[in-house]
Each structure stands twice: as C-alpha cells, then as structure tokens.
Structure 1
Amino acid sequence: MNIKLKKLSRSTSRRGLYLLENSPLKCPFHSYSDAENSNCAKAYKAYLYAVLELNQKPRDAALKLSKQCKILVSGRWKSPTRAAVVGEIRKIVRQGSVVIGTHRAPDPGHGLAAYLRWKYPDADQLELTHAR
C-alpha cells in the first residue's frame, strides 16, 4: 500500500487528499501543544488497533486510551460506529494508495499512516524468511 502525508495550508488543493476531519477515521484526541501531538498520534494508532483488530467500540476505545495516555478526547469528535471505521479502512485499502492531508507534524493523521503501514506493508517492507 502506498501511503503519503501532505501538510495542508490554506492554499493547498484538497482534491485527491484523504481528509480526516470529514471522515469516520477522524482522530478522537485533542492536543493543546506540539508536545502532545506525538502522544495523540500514538494513541490514535492504538485506537485504530483497538477498534479494527480487537473489535472494540470506537467510543469505549477512545475513552480508555484517553485515560491511559492522559490526553483529552476532542469535544468536536463524534463517535462513529465500528462498521463505519471498518468500511472506511476497506475503501482506502481497495484503492491501494492514499494521500492523507494533515495540519501539523506529527499530526494525528500520522497515526492512520502508521496503522496502515503496519497492517498493509509495501512489498519492499516485507522480509522473506526460510524455514530450516
């Protein structure tokens, strides 16, 4: 899977970009500083893992991770259904590539990229091992 990140600005064309703020994959966590951004990105990757791999409800996973990581759930986040999150990931995977529009670096969008790279690595990321 080909995954790219593109920093958004006011002049950036949003055409062809995957925008998290309008998606069921929107990050549930809110950072108030750049230092919190990396914690939010890590928590977001863990959130996706909990929802997609452990079959947890998005709201439950977000609240649990919020307490564990000592970060806040955004007041603007509306909890999607698990089916909506799964459907959105399937849509991205079917396309085979995605360009994620982000506002900051590291942005919660990086959590999505990290999850996708972990779950659907490029062929050159895979190692072949031989049984002896």
Structure 2
Amino acid sequence: MVTEQEVEAVGRTLVDPQQPLQARFRALFTLRGLGGPGAITWISQAFGDDSALLKHELAYCLGQMQDSRAIPVLLDVLRDTRQEPMVRHEAGEALGAIGNPEVLEVLKQYSTDPVIEVTNA
C-alpha cells in the first residue's frame, strides 16, 4: 500500500515545471498505476501546464484509469476553450473511455463544436 505522502511526492514531480519532462511523464504514469482520488487530484492540477503534450497525456491517463471521479475535471478541460484543441479532444475521448452514461449528452453537444479537433473526439 502506498502512503498519501508517497503519492504527494510523485504528484509534486508531475506538477513541477522545473523537472525534466521525462521525469514528469514517469510521475504521471506512476500516478495512473496507483489510481484513487489522490492520484486524480494531482493529475488534475497539471492541466495548468504549458505543455500541450503533457496535458494530452494527462487526459489520456485519466481515461485509462476509468474512474468516474475524474469526470468533473475532464468536463472542465473539454469546456475550456483556452486549452489546446488536442487536449480538449483527448478529454472528450477520456470521458468516453470512462464509460459513464451521465456524460453522453455533453459529448453529443461537443460533437458539433466549432473546433474540428474537438468534434472528432
């Protein structure tokens, strides 16, 4: 069993822009594997980063975790037009991967988004 402090240490690496991207990706994949609310919280915090590639992978990993607790943050990312189109697209894909029917109407709504990358989610 992993302690909350260990999850926090990994999370701090993920959200630290001074860390090499490779270390941050390793932290992301570690959190994905650990799962749970603490991991989702740390992954969610990283959506403020400048790296579109990292944010794309954040959304992808939240979808892979198939945890409904990630739905609110993924909905926020999908709705945030300041996020890069590929990040918003991946948030939509992740919502579908979680498989919770409560997001179906939102996904239908975004199937007509003016940004073509988002509509293809």
**Given the two structures, how large is their TM-score scaled by the length of structure 2?**
0.29
Structure (1/2) with the larger strand percentage = 1
Greater relative contact order, per chain length (Cα 8 Å cut-off, separation 6+): 1
Structure (1/2) with the larger helix percentage = 2
Q: Radius of gyration: which is bigger? A: 1
**Given the two structures, how large is their TM-score scaled by the length of structure 1?**
0.27
